[in-house]
Amino acid sequence: MKLELRNVTKRFPGVIANDSVDLKVESGEILGLLGENGAGKTTLMNILYGLYSADEGEIIINGAEMSFTGPGDAIDAGIGMVHQHFMLVPVFTVAENVVLGIEPTVGPVGTIDLGEARREVEEISNKYGLDINPDATVEDLAVGIQQRIEIIKVLFRDAEIIVFDEPTAVLTPQEVEEFFKIVNGLKEAGKGIIFITHKLGEVLAISNRIAVLRRGKIVGEVDPKTASKEQLAELMVGRPVDLMVDKGAAEPGDVVLSVTDLVVRDERQHTAVDHVSFEVRAGEIVGIAGVQGNGQTELVEALTGLEPPLAGHVELNGIDVTLATPRALHRSSVAHVPEDRQRSGLVLEFDVAENIVLDSYYAEPYSHGIRMDWDYAHEHADELIDQYDIRTPSSRVKASNLSGGNQQKLIVAREFARDTKLIIASQPTRGIDVGSIEYIHNRIVEERDEGAAVLIVSSELDEILALADRILVMYRGQIVAEVSGEDATASQLGLYMAGSVA
Amino acid sequence: MTEETTTKETPPPSKRPRWLEVIAPRQVDWVTLLVIPILAVLSALIVGAAVIVFTDGFGAVLPAYSALLRGAFGGWQSISETLLASAPLILAGLAVALGFQAGLFNIGAEGQMTIGGLTAVMVGFSFDGLPLLVHLPLAVIAGLLGGALWGFIPGLLRAKTGAHEVITTIMLNFIAFRTLDYVLKLPFIQKEGRFDPVSKDVLDSATYPSILQWLPIENPGRLRLHLGFFVALAVAWFVYWLLYRSTIGFEFRAVGANPSAAKYGGMGVASTIIFVMAVSGALAGMAGANETLGVVGRGVPGFTAQIGFDAIALALLGRSHPGGVVLASILFGALRAGGRTMQAQSDVGIDLIVVVQALIIVFVAAPELVRAIFRVRGGKKQGQVTRGWSA
Amino acid sequence: MVGVTAVVGSIDTVRAPAEVRRARILGLVYISLALLVYFVFSVGTDGDVTFRFGESPGDLDWTVSSSLLATVVAVIFGFLGGIQLTRGFGSKTNIILGLAMGVFAFAFLGWAGAGKSIGIVGILVTTVAAATPIAFGALSGVMCERVAVINIGIEGMLLTGAFTGAVVGTVASPFLGVIGATLAGGVMALGLAVLAIRYRVDQIIAGVVINIFALGITSFVSSQVLVENRAALNSPGVLGPIRIPLLADIPVVGRILFQQNIFVYVLYTMVVVLSYLLFRTRWGLRSRSVGEHPKAADTLGINVFRTRYRNVFYGGLIAGFGGAYFTLGSVGAFNENMTAGRGFIGLAAMIFGRWHPVGALAAALVFGFADSLQIRLSILDVGIPSEFLLMAPYLVTIIVVAGVVGAARPPAADGQPYVKE
């Protein structure tokens, strides 16, 4: 099967998401589609999958021009998509999720033939080595397993071209290897694969060809056998990129944050943080590495006062803050850059100034007693917009109008512009453009050099390796390794992240 | 969603006068704030006319609508009635609007009014011999507290158990009505010599004084407009200040817009919910006091006269903004006053007003609908308040 | 130099998460009820109460000392409270709560009827009847919420159904009245659907709007037109009870369940049919997927909007039919605002029943019981003012909603409009 995207263009208000994109994929090959966040990769794939319609250009399959009015048409044409965020109904079983939309039925009222569904799922599972129980309920399954359900879904629909959108975001390096085995197996079986990612190492490892997307245009096609990471990065961003952060040696001072034997439960009452102990000193960056879902979220929530821990102690400069509220911690010069900026970090309906004072409005000089001082707030916001390079015409613009990178810079501005003793930053550069990533990384190092204790939690190994002076690896709620920033390597950390103790 | 298309270009904000910044410190656009509601009212009146045609024939429309206008604005008596009717609407509308700002649906204004009006009456007919300056505020405060209690209960339930206030406030409405029926027959409440549910009369020292006595027209005494109207305006200004100029209001709005972010910012979400519901109830209670201490002069079943339900429409029409609520309340007050005249002087009953109001709500609740009908462009999309059943 | 604000206290008292707190509250409620039952119903109550389970006095009677009955119930409640406070009942919490309410009612009746005899059959017959409109409201809610559309407008749909049923039932025939009522409910629901789905109005506001609109129109037309033309427009009569042979002869249960009017029988059928369709068929799987994860359904080619429109329409049909019960099944004529909150109670029943048709029916029965008790007790002259008895269904609703919601999970996308990018 031969798939071609010719001259595909898609515009949104104020922005050209895809600009005359040409792409080709054939059966039995893996095309890597590389681009940074915001380059237009997902938009392009949504067009291919029928979720969007292109403003210009054609989709051509085996020489015939196709027009998709919805995912149904794309599926019929043999295109299967494994989304970055899983499209699985958590309360349904594996089999139900797989057959949803093309259920085998029996009888006049459309009774679902669950036996048949089970059978077919098992067949595919065995054929491609996916090892799945059709009757398991999805929300009980680990994330790595859930991804396999998505794969079964596309195979069940006889997909010939399979698109993987950022599939390895939630996998350990070892799981990534297993995943690559499966993908290669699919390739051998004659499927054409499009592998979308922003991870340079992976795209070089798995692809037969690489296309690089930047600001909506294809800026180059590269042969992975000869290309280097630096080359790819430069194509992705448009200028030479320094992949390492410019960082001097750390000079750690006194212990600022001391965590002892912390136990935290998650929403479903399972133990998410299991007797964790560590310290962070002034003037050092401690990075907690680990695949999402190993308790990092709950750890940060406990440290920032959002959820009370079940047991253990947390001390800030010697004072017990185990049960401190977010307000109390804020007063104690603790800064928190939250994991989900749109959910916890910002009120999208508020303007920039209101968001800047979101956690400091209660005190002078932003308010006098219960009277808000909006004039001051706007002045202050204008200053920060300038200092932190937040791209917005004014402080009266609603936060929802800012791009992800600028939203994150707003949060960073809000948190770092204060007197900070401890900074806790969770996934600080998730989903934002490379320019903003560079900026925020540099600011973090600046804060460290000014004497703050910095704790970074990130599932991006590259980020941890670039920033951290000391690295802790979290696996299944426990700290399983501590490595110095200088000595650490990705493969070593990967082993720890997957649970094997060296 | 983690990826968005390349850096969004923000549209430059239009040059806005400073007084506008003060009134509505957020990006306000004229279309949504003013044009749509006006068009909605117009559409409702047109459909109302159609309903009249359907039930009473073509000939009935003109006399009905002219009676409506006369009764609302045609002369001092009418204006007095209009403003009189709008006073409790302002207060109740503020109650619901405040709730909306914090993401809460206070459908219980009717019940909170009932309890507030009752407590106000009880203080109002007791304590003989107090001066007006003491007794009246005391009675009003009693009304405030009564309403606050009736708002506090669903607020507490919502904060602690997640029970959605839509259901609990509606249930409390029914309970309030029955409570009123019961209390009005208690010996120390019931008017002497009566067997129906009616309370003792409110003493003069606790009655809102009429304020239009000085007008140079014949028999100004029959103008019923009382101080309550200005009290309501003052309260509206206070609510505006609270919402947009105080730290407390900032918390209300943050919790309403994004409770997770509010929590992150150190705000107590549960306590805010309880506080908002209590204040909202207090406002509705004041509306009840306004009626029993100013208009009716005693406690009787049904004194709330659907004001609490109209309040929902008012909050929607006024976009949950105190200024908008005041304007909308005056409009609805005009409809009520005019409707009474319409009923007396034409063949069309006052229930038409209910239909017109219902239509106004429909059109206001779906601005896109009005926009589609009238081909209006611009303006922002309607926001979403609901977050499902659990908190 | 910024001082550090200290918050003293290490982990001795751990703040329990919301669910445990809710369970504790319920446990305390049980214990309080136990004390209430003992000290009010048992202590100082003389006399025996006779519960009549049969048709005529003496057939199937059960006489018991009121005081003893109350003491036993108090002990049961204490026991339940103990379990609730410690282990909790997990997924069975709702069922236990429902049964507990029934047991409480027994003790209450025992106390109220000390020295007298109480016909249980009559009460239960009224229970089923009173539960019927609530159940239809609840089923309507289930249909809508399973596709993640919150339907606050059930009250308005019931009212519109009642109105249409009365008018069409008088002008044409009761049968056509029922059809008309059903369709009227569907039309109202389409209004809700358009507001909520197409114009993405907040769903709760849209529902409130529908209610206000329904109340306005029906009251207006009723007062302008129906009041003067009662005979011609507002006297459809009542569809009487139909006796199902054989089944109605079962002792006790037969008369309660199988000697009701057509609305009740349709209710039974509907519960079974809806359960099957929702959980065993393709239609049901797709509908539920739209309610749980509309984006996933969309990517698999399921039309989210059309599914929502369709199901909300069906929900309206159900509510319209249920509304006809008020006029054609009970009163025989339309009165302004005659639904009196039953639609909202139906919503509470839906939540209590965990968004499952069978659960909704069971919950509706609990509320119907409260309703019918209130009618009986005012006849019995118990010494409780009638106004408080009238409050009973509403109080029960509050207790249920406070004690139960959040423990069950609504469809995951409930209340959120679907935005296609």
Q: What is the chain C residue with the closest CA to B367?
A: C199
Rounded to an integer, the average pLDDT of C221-240 is: 82
Task: List C-alpha distances in Å: A20 to A7, A64, A214, A404, C143.
Answer: 4, 19, 12, 25, 46
CB distance from C408 to chain A under 8 Å?
no
What ipTM is given for this predicted complex? 0.82
Residue C1 has pLDDT above 60, yes or no: no
Q: Do β-strands A285-289 and A271-281 pair in parallel, antiparallel, or remain unpaired?
A: unpaired
Position A448 scores a pLDDT of: 92
Residue A327 has pLDDT above 90, yes or no: yes
Position B11 scores a pLDDT of: 41
Position A311 scores a pLDDT of: 92
pLDDT 10s digits, A130-144 = 888 999 999 888 777
Position B144 scores a pLDDT of: 96
Q: Do β-strands A111-112 and A161-165 pair in parallel, antiparallel, or remain unpaired?
A: unpaired
Helices marked H in C89-229 — which ranges?
93-112, 120-145, 154-171, 174-193, 203-221
CA nearest neighbour of B274 among B140, B147, B137, B157: B157
Distance CA C197, CA C178 (A): 28
Q: Which of A17, A350, A406 sits opposite B5 (nearest CB)?
A: A17
Confidence band for B7, pLDDT divided at 50, 70 and 90: very low
Position C15 scores a pLDDT of: 35
Q: Partners of A334 in the beta sheet?
A: A422
**Residue B72 identity (one-letter amino acid):** A
Rounded to an integer, the average pLDDT of C366-374 is: 84
Q: Which of B55, B160, B174 sits opposite C341 (nearest CB)?
A: B174
8 Å CB contact of B265 and A405: no
Residue C4 has pLDDT above 50, yes or no: no
Rounded to an integer, the average pLDDT of C188-214 is: 88
Residue B217 has pLDDT above 90, yes or no: no
How does DSSP assign A79-112, residue by residue?
EEEE-SS----TTSBHHHHHHTTS--EETTTTEE
Q: Which residue has the higher pLDDT, C16 or C259?
A: C259
Residue A22 has pLDDT above 50, yes or no: yes
Q: Which residue has the higher pLDDT, B187 or A303?
A: A303
pLDDT 10s digits, C335-358 = 888 998 899 999 989 988 889 999
Chains that touch B (3 or more CB pairs under 8 A): A, C
Confidence band for C8, pLDDT divided at 50, 70 and 90: very low
Q: Is there a contact between B308 and B90 (Cβ–Cβ < 8 Å)?
A: no
> Please, what is the average pLDDT of chain A?
88
Residue A170 has pLDDT above 80, yes or no: no
Residues in chain A: 502
Residue C13 has pLDDT above 60, yes or no: no
CB distance from C285 to chain A under 8 Å?
yes
Q: What are phi and psi of A193, to 5 degrees?
A: -125, 135
Distance CA A443, CA B163 (A): 44
Confidence band for A119, pLDDT divided at 50, 70 and 90: very high
Rounded to an integer, the average pLDDT of A154-178 is: 84
Q: Give residue limits of the domains in chain B.
A: 32-73+346-376, 90-209+217-330
Count of helix runs (H) and strand runs (E) in chain C: 16, 5
pLDDT 10s digits, C115-137 = 777 778 888 888 999 999 999 99
Distance from CA of A429 to the nearest CA of C (A): 24
Which range, of A372-376, B51-55, C307-311, averages the lowest pLDDT? B51-55
Interface of B with C in 103-122 (CB under 8 A): 105, 107
Residues in chain B: 391
- For the ranges B78-82, B239-243, C258-262, the maximum mean pLDDT occurs at B239-243
Residue C152 has pLDDT above 70, yes or no: yes
Distance CA A457, CA A329 (A): 18
Output the 3-class SS for chain B.
Answer: CCCCCCCCCCCCCCCCCHHHHHHCCCCCCHHHHHHHHHHHHHHHHHHHHHHHHHHHCHHHHHHHHHHHHHHHHCCHHHHHHHHHHHHHHHHHHHHHHHHHHCCCCCCCHHHHHHHHHHHHHHHHHCCCCCCHHHHHHHHHHHHHHHHHHHHHHHHHHHHHHCCCHHHHHHHHHHHHHHHHHHHCCCCCCECCCCCCCCECCCCHHHCCCECCCCCCCCCHHHCCCECHHHHHHHHHHHHHHHHHHEHHHHHHHHHHHCHHHHHHCCCCHHHHHHHHHHHHHHHHHHHHHHHHHHHHCCCCCCCCCCHHHHHHHHHHHCCCCHHHHHHHHHHHHHHHHHHHHHHHHCCCCCHHHHHHHHHHHHHHHCHHHHHHHHCCCCCCCCCCCCCCCCC
Residue B33 has pLDDT above 80, yes or no: no
Q: Which of C212, C223, C344 sits opposite B358 (nearest CB)?
A: C212
Residue C240 has pLDDT above 90, yes or no: no
**H or E, element range at A288:** strand A285-289
How does DSSP assign C283-312, residue by residue?
HHHHHHHHHH-HHHHHHTT--HHHHHHHHH
Residues in chain C: 421
Which range, of A345-349, B140-144, B158-162, B347-351, averages the lowest pLDDT? B347-351
pLDDT 10s digits, B337-383 = 888 888 888 877 777 887 888 788 778 777 666 666 666 554 444 44
Distance CA A115, CA A111 (A): 12
- pTM > 0.90: yes or no: no
Position C102 scores a pLDDT of: 80
Residue C14 has pLDDT above 60, yes or no: no
Q: Which residue has the higher pLDDT, A234 or C163?
A: C163
Residue A314 has pLDDT above 90, yes or no: yes
Distance CA C29, CA B8 (A): 54
How does DSSP assign A141-194, residue by residue?
S-HHHHHHHHHHHHHHTT-SEEEEESTTTT--HHHHHHHHHHHHHHHHTT-EEE
CA nearest neighbour of C338 among C108, C55, C133, C87: C133
Confidence band for B119, pLDDT divided at 50, 70 and 90: very high
Residue B389 has pLDDT above 70, yes or no: no
Residue C369 has pLDDT above 90, yes or no: no
Residue C325 has pLDDT above 70, yes or no: yes
Q: What is the chain A residue with the closest CA to B384?
A: A349
- For the ranges A237-246, B250-259, C259-268, C365-374, the maximum mean pLDDT occurs at B250-259
Best residue of A76, A100, A325 to probe chain C, by most C CBs closer than 10 Å: A100
Task: List C-alpha distances in Å: B376 to B370, B380, C196.
Answer: 8, 12, 20
Distance CA A194, CA A288 (A): 32
For residue B262, which residues of chain A lie inside 8 Å, CB to CB? 347
Rounded to an integer, the average pLDDT of C290-316 is: 92
Which pair of structure tokens corresponds to residue C10? Answer: 């290490």
Which pair of structure tokens corresponds to residue A150? Answer: 């998505």
CB neighbours of B83 closer than 8 A, spacing ≥ 6? B225, B229, B330, B333
Chains that touch A (3 or more CB pairs under 8 A): B, C
Distance CA C134, CA C132 (A): 5
Q: Is there a contact between C212 and B316 (Cβ–Cβ < 8 Å)?
A: no
pLDDT 10s digits, A61-105 = 988 988 888 888 888 899 998 988 889 999 999 999 999 988 988
Q: Which of A41, A347, A391 sits opposite B257 (nearest CB)?
A: A347
Distance CA C305, CA A273 (A): 41
Q: Is there a contact between B322 and B240 (Cβ–Cβ < 8 Å)?
A: yes
> Please, what is the average pLDDT of chain C?
83
Distance CA A21, CA A38 (A): 15
Residue C331 has pLDDT above 90, yes or no: no
Cis omega before residue C236 (within 30°)?
no
Residue B88 has pLDDT above 90, yes or no: yes
pLDDT 10s digits, C80-124 = 888 888 777 777 777 787 788 888 887 888 877 777 777 788 888
Confidence band for B14, pLDDT divided at 50, 70 and 90: very low
For residue C285, which residues of chain A lie inside 8 Å, CB to CB? 92, 96, 100, 103, 112
Residue A162 has pLDDT above 50, yes or no: yes
Distance CA B108, CA B163 (A): 14
> Please, what is the average pLDDT of chain B?
82
Residue C195 has pLDDT above 90, yes or no: no
Distance CA A102, CA B318 (A): 48
Distance CA A251, CA A254 (A): 10
Rounded to an integer, the average pLDDT of B99-111 is: 93
- For each of the domains in chain A, give its residue range(s) and CATH number, in order of start: 2-237 (3.40.50.300), 255-497 (3.40.50.300)
Q: Which of A88, A310, A421 sits opposite C14 (nearest CB)?
A: A310
Interface of A with B in 202-221 (CB under 8 A): 215-216
Residue B158 has pLDDT above 80, yes or no: yes
Tokens 């007008």 sit at which residue? B215
